[in-house]
Structure 1
Amino acid sequence: MGAQKGKDLLLKVDTGMPGGYVTVAGLRTKKIAFNSQSVDVTDQDSAGRWRELLAGAGVQRASVSGSGIFKDAQSDTKIRENFFAGSIVNWQLIVPDFGTLQGPFQITALEYSGSHDGEVGFEIGLESAGQISFTVAA
């Protein structure tokens, strides 16, 4: 896989309507992070007193963040509604030449900002709220 254009990394929210997902408008930066907690099972018999971890036992999670310019598009409305309702809805993150991640997320941060000589911007943070699936790009 060669270098990819950052603009091709897409964040999409489920609209709950026929046609499904809509791309979050105005995003300039997007990031996804995967984390897994470790479970320490070290005891007095651990070889060389080195820490030992229990495979597959920790909680996994995914975090998505992004920032961009406010466009007041269909996706902006859906984001506002989901944030204020505390909803957990399906989202997709499309990584070019890699695949699509999909699953339930909750918006944990939504910030708007602006300066007197610039555009209105926003930042969004999402946390996984269930199992995330991955489909390899065709």
Structure 2
Amino acid sequence: MAAQAGKDLLIKIDMDGQGSFQTVAGLRATRIALNAESVDVTTLDSPGGWRELLAGAGLRSAALSGNGVFKDAASDARMRSLFFAGDHPRCQVVIPDFGTLEGPFHIASIDYAGTHDGEATFEVSLASAGQLAFTGA
């Protein structure tokens, strides 16, 4: 597989609750972290004293984050309204030449910043809030 452009890793938000996804405007950097906690079932009888893990058990989660230039676009307004309402919108993460991850996410934080001689910026963090689906590229 060839190297991928970071600009192609996209975070999209459902704009109307009906599956109309739009890329979150102004992002310069995005990140996704997938996690799977293990369940240790090791006992004194475990073969060779090696740790044993219970297959198919444990908590799985995904965390999304991004930062960039604040543009006050429709996607920004949608994210702000969902944050204040406490809703869990469906989001998509497009991972270039890999696939798309989709499901409900909790908007954990939105940070805005700016200096007197620079652009207004924002950071957003999202945490999975239900089952996610993966569709390969």
Determine if the TM-score, normalized by the shorter chain, exceeds 0.5.
Answer: yes
**1:49 deviation in Å?**
2.3
Q: Report sequence identity in percent.
A: 58
Hey, what does 2:98 align to over in structure 1?
98
Q: Which runs of 4+ in 1 moved over 3 A?
A: none
Residue type at the aligned position of 2:6: G
TM-score by length of 2: 0.95
Hey, what does 2:76 align to over in structure 1?
76
Residue type at the aligned position of 2:98: F
**1:47 deviation in Å?**
2.2
**Count of residue pairs the alignment pairs up:** 137
Hey, what does 1:87 align to over in structure 2?
87
Hey, what does 1:34 align to over in structure 2?
34
| Structure 1 residue ranges without an equivalent (≥5) | none
TM-score by length of 1: 0.94
Residue type at the aligned position of 2:90: N
Q: Once the two structures are superposed, what CA deviation does each residue of 1:30-67 show, in whole Å capped at 9, x if it has no partner?
A: 01010011101011111232221101111100110100
Hey, what does 1:123 align to over in structure 2?
123
Question: 2: distance between equivalents of 1:106 and 1:17?
Answer: 14
| Structure 2 residue ranges without an equivalent (≥5) | none
> Does the 8 A contact of 2:112 with 2:122 survive in 1?
yes
Task: Give 3-state SS (helix, strand or coil) of 1:48's partner.
Answer: helix
Residue type at the aligned position of 2:9: L
CA RMSD of aligned residues (A): 1.3
Question: 2: distance between equivalents of 1:17 and 1:136?
Answer: 23
Q: Once the two structures are superposed, what CA deviation does each residue of 1:61-91 show, in whole Å capped at 9, x if it has no partner?
A: 0110100010000001001001111110100
